[in-house]
A and B are shown apart, each in its own frame.
Chain A
Amino acid sequence: MKKAKRKLLIGGTLGVLLVLVMASPAFGQEEPAAATQFVLDNLWIFIAGVLVFFMQAGFALVEAGLTRSKNVANIMMKNLMDMSAGVLAFALVGFGIAFGGNELLGGWFGFDLGIAGVEDTTAEGLLPATFFFFQAAFAATAATIVSGAMAERTKFRSYFVYSFIITALIYPVVLRWTWGGGWLAQLEFPFSDFAGSTIVHATGGWAALMGAIVLGPRIGKFGKDGKPRAIPGHNIAFVVLGAMILFIGWFGFNPGSELLADEFVPQLALKTLLAGCAGAVTAMLVNWLRDGKPDVSIAANGLLAGLVAITAPVGAVETWASVVIGAIGGLIVVFSVTMFDRLKVDDPVGAISVHGVVGTWGTLSIALFARYDDAFLGREDAGLFYGGGVDQLWTQLIFVVTHFVFVVVAAGLLFLAIKATIGLRVSPEEEMAGLDVEEHGSPGYGHDPHLSMGSAPGVPAGTTVSRQAVPSAGEGTAE
């Protein structure tokens, strides 16, 4: 019943929009079918953008769940602000660098760098606002990946500065080179990355790598013998819920990157679905066989790895290949997490492995499995397994290597500069006590009011029951 009602509602909304558009003079002369397509395209990409924005909630929950309760307010604040500051930075600077065309956003936002405008780069019939909305959601995704790897020890203000700069400068340069039609798109055999395994995910993943390296590991992560030790997260329910929200968001991320409402959208959704499930099952089985028990958070990492892996090749490969690519992503992530532990890079949520390492795998998989002409490829059967030779492999390697070098150098310099000026890491005392109180004033999980002697939030200090008035307070034990 509910579903039917919802369908009616959506259908009704679409109908009203269609009538409005077709009645407007601009579309008066056009074919009704073209006007319909215009509305569908813009409406679908808007919905896809909303789904991608919903991934912010998923990232926030996964990161909160995999870290300790004393830092929960801090990690939530970081997720809130890398989205909010990131979108503003992208509007002011980043979008102009990546796509030009700031006059299309009302002539106010962005620097006009004289770069070709949006209508020249997409040619998809999307409104500039639709295109910006979708791209801004992606920029926020690239930025938020880093917070997990830097969790539990980063100064909040330093993270805020980082958020602004990655979405204003670093991510837009990657965009400019790729989806913006830059040099990687102009090679003889152009690069291919359908929805951003490298462009979005590995940008976040490699920035996360530099953040974790410059920061150093959390206190207690490595024992005196140098062996990695577990610092269990405080809420596995958050982790799984967050991973599932990300899964849902991915159906905007990949199928939305078609930038059209066409017959390929359901296929893209199907391949995304299969790859995510294959990643989760594979990671669970590999972890189970290797370590004796299936770890819940590793399986969640596996789901995300499958999704990150299929993000680049989703348009170019056959359906069966999406299962293989996702499964290999799930396999890689299990060993990658262990490898970074052994390298003494402390990544509490596995962001470097999921987004950096597996993102690179997904991008390279195009060179093996590409069958269809898609995302700049310009030819069918480009993959090695379809007789396409190694040309695409070289291009994809050039792509991932230059991208890696650029992000590592840019993000590395950024974090070192922050470290040298305002500092990157909190004091050991603050780290041990938890960042919530020192950075944000009060803990994420508030004090039990029954444990308070008359003072409560909102009651001004000084009106509390004086400690000295309590008998024997001076001889209290928990000094």
Chain B
Amino acid sequence: MKLIIAYIKPFKLEQVGEALKSVGVTGMSVSDISGFGRQGGQTEVYRGAEYEVDFVPKVRLEVLVSDELATVAVDALEKAGHTGEIGDGKIVVLSVYDAVRIRTGERGADAI
């Protein structure tokens, strides 16, 4: 099992979600987050005064997948989230030790 965590541009969420569903991903968690990377923050203007916004809004995705699906899902995510411009975000993949479906008590890959 792998846990895919991705930080993407908020307006890419719909496309990314569609792409993941189309390769067989059955669930994901989404949260609104703020942060910065190499893109840095952004400059805004309020009542004539410029100010720096250190954290820009991003969407964080968490997707739990089987080992077989992991590569396909990451590729789909990368393709759907790509604009080629700065701030497209990152994907990280973690190995998962165990998973439990609370309702049934299923363990491991069955719980995905």
Tell me the A residues contacting B by CB distance below 8 Å. 220, 429, 432-433, 437, 441-443, 446-447, 451-453, 455-461, 464, 467, 473-474, 476-479
Contact = CB atoms under 8 A, between A and B. Distances in A.
A476 B53 contact: no
Nearest to A440: B45
A478 B36 CA distance: 5
Contact of A479 (B34, B38, B54): B38
Interface in B30-62: 33-47, 49-56, 58, 60
Nearest to A458: B49
A433 B88 CA distance: 14
A479 B41 contact: no
B11 interface: yes
Given A477-B7, A478-B35, A442 B44 contact: yes
Q: Of residues B38, B46, B52, B54, which shows the largest number of chain A Cβ atoms within 10 Å of its Cβ?
A: B52
A206 to B, nearest CB: 32
Contact of B55 (A451, A461, A464): A451
A142 to B, nearest CB: 31
Contacts of A220: 14
B54 A460 contact: no
Contacts of A433: 10-11
User: Which range holds the interface residue count of chain B?
Assistant: 35 or more
14 contacts: A441-B44, A442-B46, A446-B46, A447-B55, A455-B51, A457-B47, A457-B51, A458-B49, A459-B51, A477-B37, A477-B90, A478-B34, A478-B56, A479-B37
A467 B39 CA distance: 11
Given A455-B52, A477-B7, A478-B58, A461 B34 contact: no
Interface of B: 7, 10-11, 14, 33-47, 49-56, 58, 60, 86-90, 92
B49 to A, nearest CB: 5
A80 to B, nearest CB: 15
Nearest to B33: A478
Nearest to B45: A441
A461 B33 contact: no
Contacts of B33: 478
Contact of B53 (A447, A458, A460, A478): A447
Nearest to A224: B18
A457 B49 contact: yes
Given A455-B54, A461-B52, A464-B54, A479 B88 contact: yes
Contacts of A479: 7, 36-39, 86-90
A474 B53 contact: no
Contacts of A461: 43, 50-52
Contacts of B89: 478-479
Given A476-B38, A478-B36, A478-B89, A457 B14 contact: no
A452 B34 CA distance: 10
A165 B55 CA distance: 40
A375 to B, nearest CB: 47
A472 to B, nearest CB: 11
Nearest to A473: B36
A281 B56 CA distance: 44
Contacts of B36: 467, 473, 476, 478-479
Nearest to A457: B46
B14 to A, nearest CB: 7
Contacts of A429: 11
A467 B51 contact: no
A444 to B, nearest CB: 11
Given A452-B54, A476-B35, A478-B58, A432 B90 contact: no
A464 B33 CA distance: 22
Given A478-B34, A479-B90, A452 B53 contact: yes
A448 to B, nearest CB: 9
Contacts of B88: 479
B7 to A, nearest CB: 5
Given A474-B38, A478-B7, A478-B37, A460 B49 contact: yes
Contacts of A476: 35-38
Contacts of B60: 478
A476 B44 CA distance: 21
Contacts of A458: 46-47, 49, 51
Nearest to A459: B51
Q: Which 10 A-B pairs have the closest CB atoms?
A: A479-B37, A478-B35, A432-B11, A441-B45, A476-B37, A442-B46, A442-B44, A457-B46, A455-B52, A461-B50
B4 to A, nearest CB: 14
A469 to B, nearest CB: 12
